[in-house]
Amino acid sequence: IGERSKDEIAVMSLRGGDIVGRHTVGFYEDGEFLELNHTATSRATFAKGAIKIAIWLSKQEAKMYSINDFLGI
């Protein structure tokens, strides 16, 4: 709690109504800001992603993977 350093990234959470997840990336400067938002209104969105990754993992060799492996990047 207290003032953030200039290099520290703020993390916040907001939920309400039918919003189950909202993610915002913001770039703030004196007198202006740019924000990119992603809002999910159904947990099914997250479940679909989990199922896709589970299916992909079931076809892979048993070892540690990262999300980058799944995305092919």
Residue with tokens 């989990």: 50
pLDDT 10s digit of each residue in the chain, 73 long?
788 888 888 777 777 788 888 888 888 889 999 999 999 999 999 999 999 999 999 999 999 999 999 999 9
Q: Left (φ > 0), alpha (ψ -120 to 50) or beta: where does 72 sit?
A: left
Please name which of 5, 23, 4 lies closest in space to residue 13, comparing C-alpha atoms.
23
Tokens of 73: 């990047």
Output the pTM of the full model. 0.60
pLDDT of residue 31: 93
DSSP string over 5-70: PTTPPP-----BTTBSEEEEEEEEETTEEEEEEEEES-THHHHHHHHHHHHHHHTS-SS---HHHH
pLDDT of residue 17: 84
The ranges assigned to domains in the chain are 1-73
pLDDT of residue 69: 96
